[in-house]
């Protein structure tokens, strides 16, 4: 919905005279760009086919590709021209659809999930990590600006300006967080990450990645470290609270593929064939939880990019077995639940 709103907002930015002679009504232009802006996420249909492969392989692939953008714009423009009975204005509709598709791809690039803009020729996922996948400030700015633009069109330009300023603010916050991490560098550091919070661009999870694990802390760049705890005082992540750079509390998380004392069960589950897709998908894989009070024993993994305090991680996959000599079976924990699990497709097919 946010993508559709941003597309419609972009149509409202030029002055009315800009579209003079185009032959398309304002309603048709708004509809075309809004539909095109939402179109790439039609790949969510893949979730109904195979949730595991959708999350780890299919989502934000060919429907989000810059290389295939002309193809999708052409197809959408053709369909809309037929539906509207405006075949003579097909090229204008194709251009509008191209604008909507481009806006969708660009706004997905700023997220932590990222986008495979060169699919299907490359599986490289580019993520700028400026915003969480669902950023409420972007949604609020775009929605309010679009509504106000129907009162006075100038609010569309104001809204786009504020979106640009907000993205600039996220870039500044990310750069500041990474600089703090660089001052703490060790010789074994591989990369520094500054993971955003969906409610505040000033709150980042600072992650210093090494060959064996992660050194991480919750960083508050605003000086209002308790503002997020007002929303929900619980903490399901176990990471603590956000603090300023002088009072950071650092924690250590070992990478799941690294063997060590007491890590045999984790290593066995992580290296299983059924975890291959998640191993390729996860940028910062960690152990989410180990359930071994009684059988079945389960080892759950997630990605640090989504271990936001007070939020249940959306991507939690793992392996379970019914006894010390039993085979491992792959599962995922359903979103918004603590322990409700579903099977995932294994190398031998779905497990009962």
| pLDDT per residue as tens digits for the range 281-294 | 999 999 999 998 77
**The two structure tokens encoding residue 333:** 């924990």
How far apart CA 170 and CA 195 sit, in angstroms, is 11
The mean pLDDT of 115-138, rounded to a whole number, is 94
**Average model confidence (pLDDT) for the chain?**
89
Give residue 87's pLDDT band: very low, low, confident or very high (50, 70, 90): confident
Q: Are 330 and 350 in contact (CB under 8 A)?
A: no
Nearest to 99 by CA among 2, 1, 8: 8
Furthest-apart CA atoms within the chain: distance in Å: 74
pLDDT for 254 beyond 80: yes
**The two structure tokens encoding residue 160:** 């786009």
Query: DSSP label at 334?
Result: P
Nearest to 99 by CA among 170, 171, 172, 19: 19
The mean pLDDT of 22-37, rounded to a whole number, is 90
Give residue 241's pLDDT band: very low, low, confident or very high (50, 70, 90): confident
How far apart CA 334 and CA 289 sit, in angstroms, is 14
Specify the range with the lowest mean pLDDT, choosing from 39-43, 52-56, 85-89, 237-241. 237-241
pLDDT for 343 beyond 60: yes
**The two structure tokens encoding residue 112:** 């932590």
pLDDT for 256 beyond 50: yes
Give residue 186's pLDDT band: very low, low, confident or very high (50, 70, 90): low
Specify the range with the lowest mean pLDDT, choosing from 30-44, 121-135, 220-234. 220-234
Q: What percent of the chain has pLDDT over 90?
A: 68
CA dihedral 263, 265, 270, 274 (to 10 degrees): 180
pLDDT on residue 286: 95
CA dihedral 291, 307, 259, 289 (to 10 degrees): 0
CA dihedral 215, 219, 225, 231 (to 10 degrees): -70
Residue 292 dihedral angles phi and psi, to the nearest 5°: -145, 25
pLDDT for 212 beyond 60: yes
pLDDT on residue 185: 65
Q: What does DSSP say about strands 341-343 and 189-197: parallel, antiparallel, or unpaired? A: unpaired
How far apart CA 22 and CA 6 sit, in angstroms, is 21
pLDDT on residue 85: 79
* Residue with the two structure tokens 């969480």: 132
């Amino acid at each position: 919905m946010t993508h559709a709103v941003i597309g419609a907002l972009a149509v409202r930015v030029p002055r009315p005279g800009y579209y003079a002679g185009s032959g398309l009504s304002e309603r048709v232009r708004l509809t075309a760009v809004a539909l095109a802006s939402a179109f790439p996420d039609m790949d969510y249909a893949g979730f109904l086919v195979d949730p595991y492969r959708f999350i780890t392989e299919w989502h934000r692939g060919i429907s989000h590709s810059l290389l295939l953008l002309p193809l999708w714009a052409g197809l959408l423009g053709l369909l809309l021209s037929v539906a509207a009975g405006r075949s003579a204005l097909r090229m204008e509709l194709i251009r509008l659809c191209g604008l909507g598709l481009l806006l969708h791809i660009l706004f997905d690039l700023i997220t932590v999930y990222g986008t495979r803009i060169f699919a299907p020729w490359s599986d490289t996922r580019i993520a700028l990590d400026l915003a969480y996948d669902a950023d409420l400030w972007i949604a609020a700015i775009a929605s309010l600006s679009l509504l106000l633009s129907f009162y006075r069109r100038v609010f569309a330009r104001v809204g786009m300006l504020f979106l640009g300023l907000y993205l600039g603010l996220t870039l500044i916050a990310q750069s500041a967080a990474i600089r703090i991490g660089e001052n703490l560098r060790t010789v074994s550091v591989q990369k520094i990450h500054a993971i955003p919070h969906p409610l505040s661009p000033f709150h980042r999870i600072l992650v210093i990645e090494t060959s064996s694990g992660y050194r991480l802390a919750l960083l508050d760049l605003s000086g209002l470290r308790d503002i997020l705890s007002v929303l929900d005082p619980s903490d399901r992540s176990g990471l603590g609270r956000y603090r300023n750079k002088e009072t950071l509390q650092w924690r250590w998380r070992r990478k799941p593929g690294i063997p060590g004392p007491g890590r045999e069960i984790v290593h066995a589950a992580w290296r299983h064939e059924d975890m291959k897709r998640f191993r390729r998908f996860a940028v910062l894989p960690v152990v989410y939880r180990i359930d071994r009070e009684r059988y079945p024993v389960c080892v759950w993994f997630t990605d640090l990019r989504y271990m936001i305090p007070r939020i249940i991680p959306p991507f939690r996959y793992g392996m379970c077995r019914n006894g010390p000599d039993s085979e491992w079976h792959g599962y995922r924990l359903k979103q918004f639940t603590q322990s409700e699990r579903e099977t995932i497709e294994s190398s031998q097919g779905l497990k009962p």
